[in-house]
Amino acid sequence: MKMRLILILSLTSMLCSFFVTAASNYDLEVKIFAAKASERYYKLYNKIAEETYSSLNEDDFEMIFTKLTTVKVIANELVEISLEASEFDLNKVQDPEMKRALQNLRKVGELFVLGEDYFSSVLINLASLKELSTDKDVEPYMGGINMPDHDDSPIAYYPDIQRIFESSNDPDELKYYWETWREKNLVWSSVNFYTIVEAFRKAAAILEVPVLQFWYRCYNHKDFFSEMEKVMEEIRPAYRQIHAFVRHELHKKYGNDVLDPKGPIPDHLFEQVLTQAWKEGSVIETYFPFKELPPYDDFVKDFDARKAIDEVQRFYKSLGFPDFDDQFLNEQLKEHDDTANSGDCRADIFDLTPRVFMKYCRKVDFRKFMQNHGYLSRVHYAQEKKNLPSYVFSSYDLEYPVGEAVILSACTPKHLDAIGLAKDFEFTNATLMNRLFRMGIHTIFNIPIFFVHTKVMNDLLNGTVEMDGINKHYWYLMQEHAGVEPPSDRSQEAIDFPYRFYLDLEQNYQTKKFVSEVLGYQFYRAFCNKSSQADHLHNCDFFSNLAVGHDLKAMMSLGSKESWRDTIAKILPDNPGLHGDALLEYYAPIIDWINNSNVENKLKIGWNNTKKSKGS
C-alpha cells in the first residue's frame, strides 16, 4: 500500500513536471514571438514617423498617394502581427505579462484587418463624418443679427454656428441651427455611421475578440463600462442640483413657451449653457459677473508661442522631468503655418512613441497656454516609456488624465501667483467662486454627455438596440442621464447626434474624454495629498514637488506592461479605479452654494418625462 502511494505520488510529480515544462515551453515560444513582433512593430513606428508625418502639409496629390501606399504596406504588416498573435492559445499561457503582450498584439491591426474595405470605404466614412462640422451647407437664420454684415452665404457648424451659440440669446435662432444642421446631414451621417459600426463588428470577428472588448481595447479591461456607470451614480445627486439651478435660470430668461420649469432642458439651450460657460451673458451672470473674473489673457500677454511652451516645460522640470532634447526641439516641435492659424487654431499632436511631434499655435491666450500643459504630458509620457517593448507602448490613454491634473494645478491662483503671472491681481473669495462655477458647468455638464455617447456605441455594438431604433434610444439616454430633451418633436428617420459625437469615432474619443475628466481629478487630488497642502482642493498647486514627479514617472514607465488597474495604482494605491468623489470634492463649495439656492427657491430636483416625440 505504501509502495503504491509512493508510485502514485511519483507519477503525479512526473505529470506535474511534464505539464509545467510544457507550459514553460509554450511561454518561451510566446516570449520569442513577442520579442520579434516588438522589433517589427518598432520599425513600423519609425517608418510612420519618417514617412507619414512629413506629408501632413503635403499638397501634391501624387505625394499623398505615395504616402497612402506606404500606409497600406504598414497596415498589412500590423495585420500580420495581429493574426499571428491570434494563433496562440491564451489559455495555455502562464506568464501574465506574456498573456497581456499577446492580447495587445492581437489588437495592433486595429481596423486595418478589414483590408481594402478599410481603405476604400471606412476611411472615407470616417473622413465624411469629420467633415460634417466644417461643411458650409446651412443657410443663415434670417431673423438673427449674429452674422457679421448679415452675410447670407451658407455656414458651417464649426466655427460659424458654434460662435453663434457662444453669443446668441435668441432661442428661436438656436433652435433653427440645431434643427437645420441635423436635417442637412441626416442621410450622410446615418449612412457613414452605420458603415463604421458594422466595420467594428467585422473587425472584432476577424480578430476573434468580443466586439466590446475591441471597442474598449485601449483599456484592456473586462468590463470597463461598469466603471463609468459607477461614476455616474456617484455624481448624479450633484448633477441634478446643478441641472435644477440652470433650468430655473433658463426659465427666468425664456419663460414657459421655451421650456418646462420641471422638465428636461431642451438640447439647444443645454448647448448654449455649455458654450457660454466662459462668456459674458451666461445664465450665471447675475450671481457671478464675467467682468469680475481675473484678466486671464492679460496674464500671458507678454508671451510669444515658444515662451509659452518654455513656461509649461518649466512646470514639468520642477517635478523632476528632463528637459527636451535637441531632436525634439529641432525636428519634432514646429509652429503651425499662417493658414492653420486662421480662425481658432488647435495644436496638433502626433504620438509615435518614443517620438512625439507637436505643432503649436502662434497665437497665445490663456486657454491655449493651459492646453499646452496637457499636450506636453504626452511628450513626457512617451519619453518615460520609450525603453519598453513596443507592444506595451500603449498606455491606456493615461496621458490625458495626467494632462488634466497638471492643468488643474497650473490654472490655480496659487500657481499663477507663485510664477508671477498674477502678481498685479488679487484673488478674492468671490473671484474663486466665479471661476469655480464656470469650471463646474463646463465639466459636470459634459460628463453625462460623454457617458451617453459611449453608451450609444456600447448598446449598438452589443445588440441591445438596432440602428432603426437608435434615435429613440439616444433621447431616452439623454433624458435619463442628462435631463435633456430635443427642441422639437423628432421624426422616425432622424439621427440627432451632435457633431462632437463623430469626432475621432474610431478611437472611442467620447470614452477617452469621460475618463480624462474623472481620472484627472483623482490624480490631481492624489498629487495634492502628496504635497500636504492645507488649502481647498480647488486651489492646490503641486508645482516643484519631486515626490509627485516620482509617482508620475513610476506609472508612465509601465506603459501597458501591467493591467489598467495596477498601472493607475502607482498614483492611486488605495482605490485604483474610476470614482467621482475627487471631482465632487473639488467643486464642493459651488455645489453647496447651489444646494442652498435651490432650497431657497423651492426648486424641483430632477425632471419630469419629456413631452416631445423622440421618433420610432
Binding annotation? 219
Binding residues for chloride: 219
Nearest CA to 584 out of 225, 224, 241 is that of: 241
CA 444, 445, 448, 452 dihedral sign is: negative
CA–CA distance, 167 with 610 (Å, rounded to integer): 27
Alpha helices by DSSP H, 420-482: 429-444, 447-461, 470-477
Nearest CA to 137 out of 196, 190, 194, 186 is that of: 186
Angle at 505 between CA 458 and CA 478, to 5 degrees: 50
CA–CA distance, 225 with 477 (Å, rounded to integer): 15
Q: Return the axis-axis angle of helices 429-444 and 224-254, rounded to nearest 10°.
A: 120
CA–CA distance, 189 with 194 (Å, rounded to integer): 8
CA–CA distance, 441 with 277 (Å, rounded to integer): 7
CA–CA distance, 492 with 498 (Å, rounded to integer): 17
575, burial (CB in 10 Å: exposed 0-12, middle 13-18, buried 19+): exposed
Q: Which helix (H) or strand (E) holds 125?
A: helix 123-131
Question: Is the bond preceding 264 in cis, omega lying within 30 degrees of 0?
Answer: no
CA–CA distance, 595 with 605 (Å, rounded to integer): 10
CA–CA distance, 233 with 235 (Å, rounded to integer): 6
CA distances from 313 to 306, 310, 422 (A): 10, 5, 19
Residue type, 133: S
Cβ 173 vs Cβ 164: under 8 Å? yes
CA distances from 521 to 478, 482, 514 (A): 24, 21, 11
Give residue 286's region: left, alpha or beta (phi > 0; psi -120 to 50).
alpha
> What is the C-alpha end-to-end distance of the chain, expressed in Å?
76
Cβ 161 vs Cβ 177: under 8 Å? yes
Cβ 159 vs Cβ 179: under 8 Å? no
Measured from the Cβ of residue 427, the count of other Cβ atoms closer than 10 Å reads: 16
Residue type, 537: L
CA–CA distance, 209 with 106 (Å, rounded to integer): 9
Q: Dump the DSSP string for 65-123.
A: HHHHHHHHHHHHHHHHHHHHHHTS-GGG---HHHHHHHHHHHTTTGGGGGTHHIIIIIH
Grid cell at residue 163: 460662435
Measured from the Cβ of residue 348, the count of other Cβ atoms closer than 10 Å reads: 16
